[in-house]
Structure 1
Amino acid sequence: MLATIFRSVIRQARRHPLYVGLNVFGLALGIGVFLALALLVRFEYSYNAGLRDVDRLVRVDGISTEPGTARAEYDSVTFRALPFLRQDFPEIVDAARIKPEDVQIKQKDELASLDATLADPSILRMFGIRLAAGTDDALTRPDGLVLSRAAATRLFGTSDVLGRTVTIDRSGVSSRHVVTAVMNGARGPNFLADLEMIIPIPPEDERTRSCFISWGSDCGSVYLKLRHPSDIVSVQSRLRDFIIRRASGSGSGDSSLGTHPEETFALNLVPMRNARFYDANVVEASNGADRNVIDGIGLVGLLALALACANTVNLSTARSVLRAREMAIRKTLGGTRSALFAQFVGEAIMLTAISGVLGLALCEVLVPEAATLTGESIAIPYGFVLAVLPLIVFGCGMASGIYPALVLSGTRPAAVLAAAKMPSGGRAAARLRDGLVIAQFTIAVTIVIGMVVIHRQTGFLRSADSGFARSGLLIGRAIPIKDVTIQRRVREALRLVAGVQSIAYGKLAPNPNSTSQSDYSYVGSHGTIRVHLLRDVVDGGYWNTYRPRLIAGRWFDDIHGQDVWPTYGKDVHDAVGNVVINSTAALRFGFATPADAIGKVLDARWVHVTIVGVVADMRFGSPRDPVYPGVIAYDPLKGRPYEGPIPAVRFTGVPEQEMERRLDRAWASVLPDVSAHFQAANERMEDYFRADEQRGRIFALGAVAAVVIAALGLYGLAAFSTARRLHEIGIRKTLGATSGQVIALLLRDFLRPVVIACVIACPIGWAIMHDWLSGFDERITLGPVSFMIAVAGALAIATLTVLGQTLRLSRAEPARALRAE
């Protein structure tokens, strides 16, 4: 039987190379795209799965429900909670605090930046971090240090670095550390995979940093290991009582959250196995991925495979009528239906196996491209692929071969041999082919609609009004030294750089690393309204540098004495000052228009401020999150230092990279041991756009594959229809039909299923993309443009696909066409 199947496949390839070639190539493309996208989905679903005892690992998130703001969950939490959690919950068997840290490494008089974190010594054993050298107690030394192999090689030129010393600069403070361990590569993808350096948490930080001693502050993440996975639910159910018991107080000190902390603060346990998808809805989480998007990518791969199978069925049913007489003769000579059925299914599986080998080769090409598009370290696990590929081959072979086998094996010899012409397969076969074309193009057009909407949305986010002028704006790192003289010297050095128009200091900047927040109250006609405001402190150059858009009132100036933010101190009560708020804050306080806010007084704990201006919202954070209500205070940096001021520079007449180098040199003239790292505002916000753009490119890959596969099927059917309708066209032309009329007739027939597919795909695409866009605070209007682009593209591709066959048939000479039949 195998020899018969092999000879039959070879014979069909020689007799009908077009059909066989389209079958094999289309199915290979579907298999290759499916494998590549399946590996991407597998990567995302296996995230964190390689961590030791992952089912018992949780992250403690902080949930804030402040007045006038929406409930928000953060993947960072106060470190003050950890010792109390250990005391109150015996289910906790291990814990680790992890705080990302901006450090500079000075090696051979050069500064280098590494992806570093401060952590407890338990981080190594708790997560099962593999070590190439050293032991799990490597961080018990206060001056210990753990490097990744890549970081060690980058710093020293070798990974054999145990005992080497490294000088680290943290916020302007240098310290020497000894390399006590070297990390191997991670076990699969996880949130620690890109970590280059781990430093023990300094005891001084634990004594002085607010996030270690205050419930109202945070700076990193807390991870717990529980005794059993079932303990997660048990501990979660008792966390509210824990907050009431441990975080309550008078509220007058920094260490408590007031008499009812449960009203504004909560803790949530996030299982690490599911954290990858959960973090898509966590504010500012850096490792999140939208499960719906990942599932959508997997669905695109599955649909590409289904399209390829449908394409094979379509072409096989069309080709089967060409073999009807062969089957009739074989049945006349004694061939049984079961034997013929097995032969045709075997042929389909053999062709699918050839396609599978080509698809695997295509996967080799597509996976590195997918890794580049997504920025993830996706590799091809050949054990997994070689185990799955035979199942794909068998499944696709059966799916694409059963129906043609049933049709051919059920051929009635007498009817076929008595017919004057080759059978066409009947109306049922024609309807099946049209239905499959409709299904193929419905899927393809839906994917194209998604691709277009994603592309337009990401383009919109990049160009949308952020409330400040992003072009020509460079932003440096926060100045770590709290010395007003140093801060002034840095500002002056930057101001004197050729090409600089203006320079500003502020506490916030695009993609902020830290925030300062306070409650403000307004007493109006409807009672007291409390709103939690994000506070920025700016200097005199802010207006010309960021160029915010004033929509009511005025900006700060030195003429009005109360514009200067009052000095804070424990002995200061009832201080007064002026502020500017953003339009979201004006809305939260209940003002009908921004102009109504001018002159109104807001009360904080120790200061009364008058609103003198309202600016349009400045979006420094993710476009998925609503803009936080904000207040801006003015401090000209005359008598007191800022705490971590962030310099921003507006420049002109100089290429961006050259200006970055000039600013870095000016900064180094004052702070030679601290890297300036000036970046464009758009570059600082790149993280907010990158994930959607990368996954949009994956959808584009799927869309191209879907359209190509659908076009291949349409081309094959056009070739079949051309051969079957040659006699009809000859008669039409004999009766006076022109070539133009013939072309119009044929295009109408060929494009009818494509038009129907477009009609079906548009509402489906609208529903899917409307749901996706709802996750953005700023988004495009889902108007007809995206659908028109997708439909026009599908019709254009379909027209070009069948145009060659249509033109050839319309130009056929009537006499030759009739004689051929």
Structure 2
Amino acid sequence: MLTTILRGALRQARRHPVYVGLDLLGLALGIGVFLSLALLVRYEYSFNVGLPGAERLVRVDEHWTLPGVAPVEDGEATYRAIPFLRQDFPEIEETAPLMPSTFRTERDGMFTKFDGYESDSSFFRVFRTGLSRGVTEEALSRPDGLVLSEKAAMKAFGTLDVLGRRIELNRSGVRSVHVVTGIMTPVRGPNVLEGVEMIAPVPAEEMRTRSCFLQWGSSCGALFLRLRKAEDIGAIRARLRDFVIRHASGADNDHVTIGRHPEKIYELLLVPLLQTHFHDAGVEDTDDGVDRNVVNAIGLIGFLALVLACANTINLATARAGLRAREVAVRKTLGATRRLLFAQFMGEALFVTSVAGIVGLVLCEILTPEIASLTGEAVTVSYGFVLTALPVVIVLSGLASGFYPATVLSGYRPAAVLAAARMPSGGRGAARLRNILVAGQFAIAVAIVICTLVIDRQTAFMRDADRGYVKSGLLIGQPLRGDDPALERRMLDALRSVPGVVAVGFGELEPAPNATSRSDYKYAGPNGPVEIQMMFDRVGPGYFETYRPRLLAGRWFDPARGQDEGPDAGNLRNLSGDFNIVVNAKATVALGFATPGQAIGQMLTDGGMRARIVGVIEDMRFLSPRDQVLPEIIFFDTLARVPFVDPIPAVRFQGVTRAVMAQRLDRAWALVRPELASSFQPADERMADYFTGDERRGHIFTVGAVVALLIACMGLYSLAAFSAIRRVHEIGIRKTLGASGGQIAILLLRDFLRPVALACVLACPVAWVVMRSWLSGFDQRVPLSPLHFLIAVAGAFLIATLTVLGQTFRVARAEPARALRAQ
């Protein structure tokens, strides 16, 4: 039987090389794409799995329900809760703070950057990661200890033999000398510690003075717990509300607690570490999480590519089934049973699928690095996974693609086939199946193309969308650490003196902010008091000229007006004083004003502080396009009496390239703060993380669209080739009766393109529903335009026409006498 199967497959390859070649190519492409995308999906689902005991690790999140803004979840939590969590929940084995930090080493005025965390000795007890050098119990117990990754050790010292060596670190201008106490063992697979180069102890001074250690609701990093049992998470969750009431409540003016009823606005959540990768897609202050639906959609594209390939095989097999009808009839006459023939044809299908699987494995080797490059993920070919999945894929694909053709072929009746003048076509059922398969292939392909067009348009829109300020000619620096007004004035003067600089301004918020300060403000409106939560920003002279926000009503701040000068630290602490403010358009809507102009002159209050609105600007988007713009209140500071806190300089320039201006600004910065590294960047670069992930994953949809269209075209080609053979006699009669070649071509094209038209009708509503749901996750988004659908439909018809054009013209130009004689 094996010999017969092999001979049959090779004989078909010799007789019909085009059909067999298309069959192999389609299956190999489907298998290769499926395996490559399966590796990507497996990678996304394997986040944090490699951490020891990951099922017992959870992250503490904060959930805020504040007046005037949508509820928000924050991936960082107050460290004030740490001692109370240990005290109240015996289910917690250990807690560990993880504060993101950027470490730099300096040599000859040049800075080398290292990404890492500040933590304490509990780090290794929570994450259970090992050290290739050093002792985990001692590595972070000394205040000057420092743990390095192997990559950081090589970058800093050029060797892994670094235990006990000293290194001077610069953290935001603060220098400290550390002793290397450990080298981390790399953790298998993607995880929360991936990319960490240094871990240093939290400075004791920060623990005594920083608000995230002292106040409820103030955060500066993530908080992780290791539970004694994974099942304990439910018991802890059930008691967290009472925990917040017991420990976070206090007087309304108490700066340590959250007020008398913290449970009304504040909640602690526990997120299992194994779920954070997908959960973080909608969480603030986390690395860019991934939408699970997007990852599943990528996996679905891989599966559909395999389904399309199998459908293509069925189409090709049924199209050439008639060519083997006489072979089947002769073999049945000589005694072959239907069961024996069915087994032979199924064996041939499995043999072809096996060859395609080997080619698909080669394609997987080629495609996987390209997919890793497109997505920016460290996806590699895992042979343990691939070699386990490939036999299953081959068997299932072989069975799926071979069952129906084997059933049709083995079912031919010898007498009817040998007595007929023409080869059998399989009847109306087979023709209907071929049309359905082609329609299904193109429906899938067109739907993927529409989704790709919408995703590409949305990601391009996110880069180019209006953010409420003029992006061109704008560079933004890093925070000028401290609150020294003399230093701040020197920095402004130094930046203003740079040739090509048009304007310089300070602000305390920035595009892609790491933290925001918010406060509650009340407005005694005509329909009753309104209370909203507002982002707080303080800006200086030159800010308006630098960012160029659009003024919708009223005026901007005037340094000559004394009441435009904002509150100092004492005013903010005691909630006292009268000041002028500017708000954004979102604030006027939240306060209930019908137009921005109605807000001018109205008074907002926060305790004893009174803030009069003198201007309204368009919303300035400093955050992700997925997030809603928050109401914002802006105070003005001339630096006459009130210093900024970690101000962020922004510079508008002209007459010089961006790269040259950045170099000039870095040199000017070094004259004032040589101990603090600088990097002036465009706003788009600072916000790149917000849309890069969607952009990269959109490339996967593009690959899927190309593959789907290619396989669908193979199916359409097979249908056209089969129809061309079957309709030669019909065409001869039509031409004898006077039909022209053009009329015949139009007739054939209409018949060939009918499944494509049906496919477009099916694909458009499906794509509309899917993309409408996806776009709803963005606050800033493109409209779901009919143009996307028209382009995809027109493209499908054009590609389909080009696919069948050769067969159409060949049949339409056939000579009637020869066509009739051939039959």
State the TM bucket, normalised to the shorter chain: over 0.9
Distance in 2 separating the partners of 1:252 and 1:421 = 95
Distance in 1 separating the partners of 2:393 and 2:104 = 50
Q: Structure 1 counterpart of 2:73, which letter?
A: E
CA contact (8 A) 1:494 1:503 kept: yes
- TM-score, scaled relative to structure 1: 0.98
Distance in 1 separating the partners of 2:250 and 2:103 = 36
Unaligned segments of structure 2, at least 5 residues: none
Q: Which residue of 1 aligns with 2:665?
A: 663
Q: Structure 2 counterpart of 1:58, which letter?
A: V
Confirm or deny that 1:642 pairs with 2:644: yes
Q: Which stretch of structure 1 is more off in the superposition, 516-525 or 430-439?
A: 516-525
SS of the counterpart of 2:381?
Answer: coil
CA contact (8 A) 1:104 1:674 kept: no
Q: Which residue of 1 aligns with 2:627?
A: 625
Q: Which residue of 2 aligns with 1:391?
A: 392
After superposition, the CA RMSD in angstroms is: 1.3
**Equivalent residues in 2 for 1:756-775, closer than 5 Å:** 756-775=758-777
**Equivalent residues in 2 for 1:518-667, closer than 5 Å:** 518-569=519-570, 574-667=576-669
Q: Structure 2 counterpart of 1:710, which letter?
A: A
**Equivalent residues in 2 for 1:681-760, closer than 5 Å:** 681-760=683-762
Confirm or deny that 1:104 pairs with 2:104: yes
Q: Structure 2 counterpart of 1:91, which letter?
A: E
Q: Which residue of 2 aligns with 1:245?
A: 246
Distance in 2 separating the partners of 1:539 and 1:772 = 40
The alpha carbon displacement at 1:573 in A equals 5.8
Of 806, 809, 812, 2:808 maps to 806
**Equivalent residues in 2 for 1:409-420, closer than 5 Å:** 409-420=410-421
Confirm or deny that 1:23 pairs with 2:23: yes
The alpha carbon displacement at 1:610 in A equals 0.3
Moved over 6 A (4+): none
Q: Which residue of 1 aligns with 2:465?
A: 464
CA contact (8 A) 2:288 2:690 kept: no
SS of the counterpart of 1:80?
Answer: helix
SS of the counterpart of 1:102?
Answer: strand
SS of the counterpart of 2:499?
Answer: coil
Distance in 1 separating the partners of 2:118 and 2:255 = 23
Distance in 1 separating the partners of 2:601 and 2:642 = 27
Distance in 1 separating the partners of 2:640 and 2:630 = 29
Q: Which residue of 2 aligns with 1:13?
A: 13
The alpha carbon displacement at 1:153 in A equals 1.4
Distance in 2 separating the partners of 1:744 and 1:572 = 84
Q: Structure 1 counterpart of 2:55, which letter?
A: D
The alpha carbon displacement at 1:727 in A equals 2.0
Distance in 2 separating the partners of 1:573 and 1:173 = 32
CA contact (8 A) 1:107 1:166 kept: no
Distance in 1 separating the partners of 2:488 and 2:566 = 18
SS of the counterpart of 1:93?
Answer: strand
Distance in 1 separating the partners of 2:109 and 2:290 = 39
Confirm or deny that 1:791 pairs with 2:803: no
Q: Structure 2 counterpart of 1:732, which letter?
A: R
**Equivalent residues in 2 for 1:33-72, closer than 5 Å:** 33-72=33-72
Q: Structure 1 counterpart of 2:2, which letter?
A: L
Distance in 1 separating the partners of 2:284 and 2:126 = 25
SS of the counterpart of 1:115?
Answer: strand
Map Cα deviations across residues 258-281 of structure 1 (whole Å, 9 max, x no partner). 111111111000011111111112
Q: Which residue of 2 aligns with 1:84?
A: 84
Distance in 2 separating the partners of 1:660 and 1:57 = 43
Map Cα deviations across residues 709-757 of structure 1 (whole Å, 9 max, x no partner). 1011111221222122222222222222112111111110100000000
**Equivalent residues in 2 for 1:673-684, closer than 5 Å:** 673-684=675-686
Q: Structure 2 counterpart of 1:256, which letter?
A: T
CA contact (8 A) 2:445 2:712 kept: yes
The alpha carbon displacement at 1:107 in A equals 4.1
Distance in 2 separating the partners of 1:746 and 1:36 = 38
Q: Which stretch of structure 1 is more off in the superposition, 125-134 or 235-244?
A: 125-134
The alpha carbon displacement at 1:109 in A equals 4.5
Distance in 2 separating the partners of 1:13 and 1:615 = 71
Q: Structure 2 counterpart of 1:604, which letter?
A: D
SS of the counterpart of 2:320?
Answer: helix
**Equivalent residues in 2 for 1:504-515, closer than 5 Å:** 504-515=505-516
The alpha carbon displacement at 1:241 in A equals 0.5
Change (3 A) 1:147 1:539: same
CA contact (8 A) 1:131 1:182 kept: yes
Q: Structure 2 counterpart of 1:373, which letter?
A: L
CA contact (8 A) 1:584 1:628 kept: yes
Distance in 2 separating the partners of 1:377 and 1:111 = 27
Confirm or deny that 1:447 pairs with 2:448: yes
SS of the counterpart of 2:569?
Answer: coil
Q: Structure 1 counterpart of 2:51, which letter?
A: L
CA contact (8 A) 1:107 1:167 kept: no
Distance in 1 separating the partners of 2:107 and 2:678 = 17
SS of the counterpart of 1:569?
Answer: helix
Q: Which residue of 2 aligns with 1:113?
A: 113
CA contact (8 A) 1:107 1:155 kept: no
**Equivalent residues in 2 for 1:195-214, closer than 5 Å:** 195-214=196-215
Q: Which residue of 2 aligns with 1:3?
A: 3
Distance in 2 separating the partners of 1:775 and 1:62 = 21
CA contact (8 A) 1:475 1:649 kept: yes
Distance in 2 separating the partners of 1:128 and 1:792 = 57
Map Cα deviations across residues 546-589 of structure 1 (whole Å, 9 max, x no partner). 01011111111122211110323178663011000011111111
Task: Say how many residue pairs are matched.
Answer: 821
- TM-score, scaled relative to structure 2: 0.98
The alpha carbon displacement at 1:108 in A equals 5.6
CA contact (8 A) 2:285 2:514 kept: no
SS of the counterpart of 2:79?
Answer: coil
Unaligned segments of structure 1, at least 5 residues: none
The alpha carbon displacement at 1:482 in A equals 2.4
Change (3 A) 1:672 1:574: closer
Q: Which stretch of structure 1 is more off in the superposition, 574-583 or 598-607?
A: 598-607
Q: What percentage of residue pairs aligned between the two structures are identical?
A: 57
Q: Which residue of 1 aligns with 2:233?
A: 232
Distance in 1 separating the partners of 2:345 and 2:713 = 25
Distance in 2 separating the partners of 1:285 and 1:709 = 40
Distance in 1 separating the partners of 2:359 and 2:574 = 77
